[in-house]
Amino acid sequence: MVDGLICLDTPDEMDHDTKESIRPSPMSRLHKNVIRATDIAAQFWCEKQMELGYLYGKEATPEMRNGAEVHKNIETIINIPVNLKPESYPDSLYRSLYTSYLGVSTLRERGAARELNIYGSINGFKIAGKIDEIRYEDGKTVVYEDKIKMSDREPSSAQIASHRMQVLLYIKMLNDIKRGLYTFSNFARGWGTDKMRITDSFSAQLKDMGIKEGDMTVGSIAALYFSSLMDAGDISDMAFIRYTNAQSGNIIKSSRVEYSQNDFEERLKYAMVYWNGFRDAKPVDESEKWKCNYCPFFGKQCTTWYQAKQKVL
């Protein structure tokens, strides 16, 4: 780890470009301008696998396909239905911000909201994620993350460790917004919302829904969403990861996660050393090379632990 180079509380975008790194930034190599919360979580499974996924593509696993369907079904049950058909990126961003705003602004009455977009900044890198569910419990907002499995087998501690990082990051991002460390202005500047225009057909759909003219820009709906987050209950230091069997719908395990600032920031600093270009993507340690058996890049793009068959002479 490179000490003294990481500052976690800087919300200004692009300041990472001013730091000298010793190799090209992964952001440019991987053609990214946003780090997803799931990217950071994946670093705690295998950082190299995360990077190879961007370079060579990731095939959807049965868990991922079933997960998307289960998430959609639960969202339909819990969230207020929003029937908007986006035709452009600004339309899609507007819809996501609008559904997130509806979920948070009605959280106290409805008790739960699903699929909330969340934004933040670390070291000047834009960070984005989607929180599966928040619940209003004992005056606090509690984060829930759902993971889908194809059997009743309990998740391994290595799987939980990676998922744990994801929910801890959500807690940090929610707290940063509540404490004014990441504001609507940071978001608007970082995402360039004032240059975004929604399509005429999308405006017409909003009009039909009774949305006021002044709330029909990406910036205005983002401002409403950020202010609803500021007004939401305090963020609980406790979060939960629920592992569900896709076939039976049974919850296999509910893992409780506690936020400890020092522990979390140490892990985050470690992850950011990679994004700042101070370290190549790290393969798993030898003690965890069993993970390679489940890796689509094993023996192809990654040969770190691959024992090639010896030729018989």
The count of chain residues that interact with ligand SF4, using the rule CB under 6 A, is 14
Residue closer to ligand SF4 (CB basis): 259 or 305: 305
Tell which positions 246-285 bind ligand SF4, by CB under 6 A. Answer: 283-284
Q: How far is the CB of 29 from ligand SF4 (least distance, A)?
A: 16
State the nearest-atom distance from the C-beta of 304 to ligand SF4, in Å.
5
The DSSP call for residue 277 is: T
Q: Does 49 bind ligand SF4 (CB under 6 A)?
A: yes
Residues linked to residue 243 through DSSP beta bridges, in sequence order:
147, 253
Helix intervals (H) in the chain = 26-29, 37-56, 62-78, 89-105, 107-110, 157-178, 184-191, 200-208, 218-231, 261-275
| CB of 92 or CB of 304, closer to ligand SF4 | 304
Min dist. Cβ of residue 286 to ligand SF4 (A): 10
What long-range pairs does 213-221 form, CB within 8 A, spacing at least 24? 217/193, 218/90, 218/93, 218/94, 218/97, 218/193, 219/188, 219/193, 219/194, 221/94, 221/97, 221/98, 221/101
Q: Which of 46, 165, 196, 198 binds ligand SF4 (CB under 6 A)?
A: 46
**Are the C-beta atoms of residues 288 and 158 closer than 8 Å to each other?**
yes
Instruction: Indicate which single residue of 26, 35, 48, 196 sits in contact with ligand SF4 (rule: CB under 6 A).
Output: 48
42 binds ligand SF4 per the rule CB under 6 A: no
Pair type for strands 234-245 and 251-258: antiparallel
**Closest CB to ligand SF4 among residues 262, 287:** 287
Q: How many other CB atoms are found less than 10 A from the CB of residue 143? A: 27
- In this structure, what is the dihedral angle of CA atoms 87, 121, 240, 116, given to the nearest 10 degrees? -20
| Residue 40 binds to ligand SF4 (criterion: CB under 6 A) | no
We find the least distance from the C-beta atom of residue 114 to ligand SF4, in angstroms, to be: 31
Query: Of the two residues 262 and 307, which places its CB atom closer to ligand SF4 in the complex?
Result: 307
The phi and psi torsions of 281 (rounded to 5 degrees) equal -60, 130
Residue 256 or 309: the one with the smaller Cβ distance to ligand SF4 is 309
- Span interacting with ligand SF4, options 42-50, 85-93, 193-201, 229-237, rule CB under 6 A: 42-50
Q: Tokens 């499974």 label which residue?
A: 45
Q: Which range of residues in 33-41, 56-64, 88-96, 299-307 is near ligand SF4 by CB under 6 A?
A: 299-307
Q: Judged by CB under 6 A, which of 114, 164, 269, 291 binds ligand SF4? A: 291
The strand pair at 35-36 and 125-137 is best described as: parallel
**Given the rule CB under 6 A, which residues bind ligand SF4?**
46, 48-49, 52, 283-284, 291-292, 295, 297-298, 302, 304-305
